Structure 1
Amino acid sequence: MKDTIFLIGFMGAGKSTVAKCLEQNYGRRIVEMDEQIEAREQMPVSRIFEEKGEEYFRGLETELLKELGEEENLVVSCGGGAPLRPCNVEIMKKNGRVVFLTARPETVYERVKDSHNRPLLEKNKNVSYIEKLMEERKERYEAAADYLVPTDGRTGEEICREIMKKIQEGCR
């Protein structure tokens, strides 16, 4: 098995923060999937959704994951919807470990309330909608995950240490 760490979870769960910590402390190269896709398409994710649709965007995620499978020692911050496609989960599991970062809906709201680059939340930025969407995705996130790590009220450092400990010990 390759050693890439794939961070999955709802938007605002802390994937980017944890990825930076894993890069700094464990020498892994970060790949922010949404940033890579934006650079390739030369437009923000919100515009890709608007002009080309969610299905098109999800296809771009799958293609990028296939490419990343050829590399090693990465930490990949996946878009919130990446693990919703079974083929994406298969690619991630084949090429590394999948870490599901969890957060309460209230925590997610606090982290994303001032952001305008989350197209699925833009017109529904409230705790009840976030909770509903999280609940819809929870089962698939859990099925995809090798490890579950809560992020509420914790620093990036604490979360990184827990991830690396779980991977080294091989526990879920």
Structure 2
Amino acid sequence: MLIKLKTLQLQTIQIEIDPEQTVKALKEKIEAERGKDNFPASRQKLIYAGKILQDDTPIKDYKIDEKNFVIVMVSKMMKGLVYPFSRRPLVTRRPSIYKTRGKGKMQRLIRKRNELRRQLQEARATIITLQGLLQLKADQERMATTTTSQQLPGPQAPGNTNARPSG
């Protein structure tokens, strides 16, 4: 059976394989044909009709049509991660937070955080004080305008001396 494969870089690969063989054998054949550096079998994912092909399943079970193609995805290696589709774990690095020599840095960060919290509290207190002062000033201005308006007689319209009181 001839299987057409397409990579994410739009390269087309054609591989002749027996339908009785497993997907893992197909991956190994891709690796042998295209190179272990570019297409390692442990990092390949084969996708057909929206499904990821499982390694231990025979190719005939997926009913791959020779007119259609299978997508080949090769995952990139990232430091410190374990890939679920590769059977062997990679060497992982311990986070720097657990290192003994990183304690001084952590303590500096904690001191900085506490300093920022103290500054925030001071800023809040200043805002509350300023709001109180603004309220006091507004109250004083309101009192000044009411006392001024009580001392001055109200304006009278010219020529209207016989004004009736409303009531």
What TM-score does the superposition give when structure 2 sets the normalisation length? 0.20
What TM-score does the superposition give when structure 1 sets the normalisation length? 0.19
Which structure is higher in RCO with an 8 Å CA cutoff and minimum separation 6? 1
